Structure 1
Amino acid sequence: MKIRKAFGPTIAVSLLALSLAACSNPAVDAPSAGSTDSKLPASCSTEKPTIGVALPNTINPYYVAMQDSFKKHGQELGFDVKVAIANDSDSTQLSQVDSFIQQKVCAVALNAVNSGPGAASVKALNAAGIPVFTVNVIISPDDLKTQNASFVQYVGADQVAGGKQMGEQVLKDLGADAKIVAGIIGNPDQIPTNQRDQGFKDALSKNSNASTVQTVNGKIDPSVSLQVTGDLLQGNPGINVLFADAGPHAVGALQAVAQQGKADKVKVYAFCAADQKLNSTYAACAAQEPAKYAQIVLDNMKKHLAGESVDKEVLEPLKVFVDGQTPGQGEVG
């Protein structure tokens, strides 16, 4: 059963009111969650409003599924959806956001390349009075505060819960008091992956015989993940569990385990690699649903543009797959 966790916009609106009282700034003058009287861009009143979608890449199957969903569902809702792919460059993405501004789009869905630099894109859209909805990658609250920037809504997976689910699965598979030495293939530049790692470690902390030796940076890249996981295993021969906190990390980690002949000694738990069957080595994974997140963003964007209130944050639960199962199309990490 899927349970959506959402937090209402009351606090965000109250803080916005205080900011407006203090000064007039494009970042806080922008439309916000729950607002019904904010002035929208003129293009929003056209027969088919143009929506900008900014994505990091289309190498990761996750973003392919998200892009397809934005285009398909956007058309169903009567939007003209324009997608920009940043090829994992923060500067390119900011330039693409500036292009959306020049095109006078009605609103933007932003999946930032990185959590910190993404705040600059939000700030630019605020200054132009264009509503911005963030998805998947959480924009750094500290950077938003520094730039006095705000977004209408964030939509994504419940990242902490997903990491916790994987940690709990480890304890279920190996034993609540088993000797566990875990390594993590992560990405410290991203808030979501850090949240997943923390959830995983919190779950393992219930076992006094479990420890985490190191977190290496897979950079959301299978090739990089293969290399750093190989180094991690060689430097820590006692590792019997790997947590790969993104689908590309899982691909690289599984390859490294196979290359070193440790398929019977090391179990991999992960956020799901696309279309890859679980087995005795690839023991469990948590799947996000990027196509669904795109649909939620667009549905709530349409509500917001119609003057309806939307929640500041929508966190979706993750599906868990175990040995013998295969994630479905679009169910990825």
Structure 2
Amino acid sequence: MASFSTRRTRTTRMLAAGAVLGLAALSLSACSGDSSADASGDGNVGVSLIVKTTTNPFFVSMQDGAKKAAETSGVDLKLAAGKSDGDEATQIQAIENAISDGDKGILITPNGPSVVDALKKARDAGLYVIALDTPPDPADAADITFATDNFAAGEQIGQWTAEKLDGKKAVIGMVDLFDDKIVSVDYTRDQGFLTGMGIDAADDKVNGDEAKSGKYTGGKGGDYEIAGNQASQGAEDGGRTAMETLLAGNPDINVVYTINEPAAAGAYEALKAAGKEKDTLVVSIDGGCSGVSNVKQGIIDATAQQYPVKMAELGVEAITKLAETGEKPETTEGLDFFNTGSKLVTEEKMSGVESIDAAEASKICWGK
């Protein structure tokens, strides 16, 4: 595991590099879906897009973009999705279907570790496998991943939080994704946030193993206390329940990290019901139009905006190029995936933390 300072330097550097490379790279449209339906019927390159769920607008935006990309790229695009975030069984069946249909490739946002064996089977059958948004574990279970550098995105909101605290004690509630399985997007965002705060995250693939109290070194530095970790399933109702549980254990929470914006919206409702919404910082990762609106309204104090349409565009283009020329995409230097970049969105700029405001973010948000 890299040291604290090395990890912080690496991810900051890679975030900037990923954003530049992402803009200079191939251009297309996006990906994701629900059920096994054809989105484009006239192409001759068969591709299955398998997302986590279509109850989250992030994946719906992927779906819409992928359809447009398929229309212009000569791709027969089939769509499938888990019934909920974490539904591995439906994704495994969709992978089996792609193999049976003789598809050229699979684009997938993996719902958990159980899909890895199915992805290996697909690759053994000659399909090109591209992960989107969530790198599988191990990363080489896919041929390449197009994703946000989730650790760096977590660092962005952690650095902003440390600056905003201005030396005050941080009593932190961690609203994560799962507590019954391990997926990379869950631990990289969580650990990135802690690292950005200046808290030693210990094992960077394990949520909740950091020291429960101590000093954070970000911003002016100060004392911190971890009130606990609760799973949200990445959903608004799960975020509310997680926040209610955290408050029951420690009513002094004044900082809330959330895995995504639906969970953040739910956490805010719990804080509001407890009369604590005005005195608590809520930070998140996503950058959807509803989340950006919540930043404008003060429901979310800062979020890291990511770009699902770009992920999908690059995925569709990569499989099309592979089918036509045999050319394979390359990862971002220093990472085991291609970084599609992120930007911090907040109405309160902090010294030394690069950000955009909600008005600017609304011009490039997804899920309109």
TM-score scaled by length of structure 1: 0.80
Match of 2:231 in 1: 217
- After TM superposition, give the deviation of residue 6 of structure 1 in Å: 9.8
1:150 pairs with 2:147:
no
Corresponding pairs, count: 286
Match of 2:171 among 173, 178, 181: 181
Question: How far apart, in 2, do the equivalents of 1:193 and 1:213 lie?
Answer: 18
> Given that residues 111 and 134 in structure 1 are in contact (C-alpha distance below 8 angstroms), is that contact kept between their aligned partners in structure 2?
yes
1:274 offset after TM fit, Å?
4.3
SS in structure 1 at match of 2:49: strand
Q: 1:314 aligned to 2:338?
A: yes
**Separation of aligned partners in 2, 1:150 and 1:245:** 24
Instruction: State the Cα distance separating 1:99 from its structure 2 match.
Output: 0.9
| Inter-partner Cα distance in structure 1 for 2:70 and 2:16 | 24
Mapped contact 2:131–2:146 kept (Cα < 8 A): yes
The alpha-carbon deviation at position 213 of structure 1 amounts to 2.4
Aligned to 2:46: 50
- 2:110 maps to 1:85: no
Give the corresponding residue for 1:99. 97
Task: State which of 245, 249, 255 in structure 1 corresponds to 2:269.
Answer: 255
SS at match of 2:53: coil
The sequence identity of aligned pairs, in percent, is 21
Give the partner amino acid of 1:186.
Answer: D
Distance 2:43 2:276 in 1: 59
Q: Which residue of 1 aligns with 2:312?
A: 294
Correspondence for 1:167 among 150, 153, 158: 158
Q: Please, which runs of 5 or more residues in structure 1 have no aligned partner? A: 8-45
| Distance (Å, rounded) in 2 between the aligned partners of 1:309 and 1:130 | 13
Match of 2:135 in 1: 138
Residue identity opposite 2:305 in structure 1: A
Return the alpha-carbon distance in structure 1 between the equivalents of residues 330 and 258 of structure 2.
Answer: 31
Distance 1:214 1:287 in 2: 25
Pick one of 116, 128, 143 that aligns with 1:119.
Answer: 116
- 2:259 aligned residue (238, 245, 254): 245
What's the offset of the Cα at 1:281?
A: 4.8
Superposed CA RMSD in Å reads: 2.3
TM-superposed deviation, 1:151? 2.2
Task: Give the equivalent residue in structure 2 for 1:15.
Answer: none
Secondary structure, in 3 states, of the residue corresponding to 1:219? coil
Contact 1:267 1:281 in 2 (8 A): no
**Residues 132 and 281 of structure 1: CA distance in aligned 2, closer, same or farther (over 3 Å):** closer
Per-residue deviation, residues 111-130 of structure 1 (Å, max 9, x unmatched): 1122x112022112022111
From the superposition, tell whether residues 236 and 243 of structure 1 become closer, same or farther in structure 2 (CA, over 3 Å): same
- Secondary structure of the residue aligned to 1:133 is strand
Alpha-carbon distance, 1:301 to partner: 2.0
Give the AA of the match of 1:243: Y
Aligned residue identity for 2:358: Q
Q: Specify which of 184, 187, 191 is matched with residue 184 of structure 2.
A: 191
Structure-2 separation of matches of 1:235 and 1:197: 20
Q: How far does residue 97 in structure 1 lie from its aligned partner after superposition?
A: 1.0
Give me the whole-angstrom Cα distance separating, in 2, the residues matched to 1:217 and 1:277: 21
1:325 shift after superposition:
2.0
Counterpart secondary structure, 1:173: helix
Q: Distance between the aligned counterparts of 2:45 and 2:298, measured in 1?
A: 49
**8 Å Cα contact 1:182/1:241 also seen in 2:** yes
Cα distance in 2, alignment partners of residues 254 and 185 from structure 1: 11
Tell me what 1:30 maps to: none
CA contact (8 A) 1:266 1:281 kept: no
CA–CA distance in 2 between the matches of 1:310 and 1:220?
30
User: Deviations along 1:94-115, whole A, 9 cap, x unmatched?
Assistant: 111111111111111111122x
SS class of match (2:278): coil
2:156 & 2:224 partners in 1: Cα distance?
Answer: 16
Q: What is the CA distance between 1:234 and its match in structure 2?
A: 2.3
Structure 2 contact 227–246 (Cα < 8 Å) conserved: no
Judged with a 3 Å threshold, the aligned counterparts in structure 2 of structure 1 residues 77 and 248 are, in CA distance, closer, same or farther, namely same
Structure 2 vs 1, CA of residues 244 and 150 (structure 1 numbering), >3 Å: closer, same or farther?
closer
Deviation string, structure 1 residues 58-114 (Cα, Å, up to 9, x no partner):
100000000111111121111111111221321111111111111111111111122
One-letter amino acid matched to 1:300: A
Q: For residue 27 of structure 2, what is the aligned residue in structure 1?
A: none
Distance in 1 separating the partners of 2:173 and 2:322: 43
Which 10-residue stretch deviates more, 227-236 or 320-329?
320-329
Offset at residue 280 of structure 1 (A): 4.1
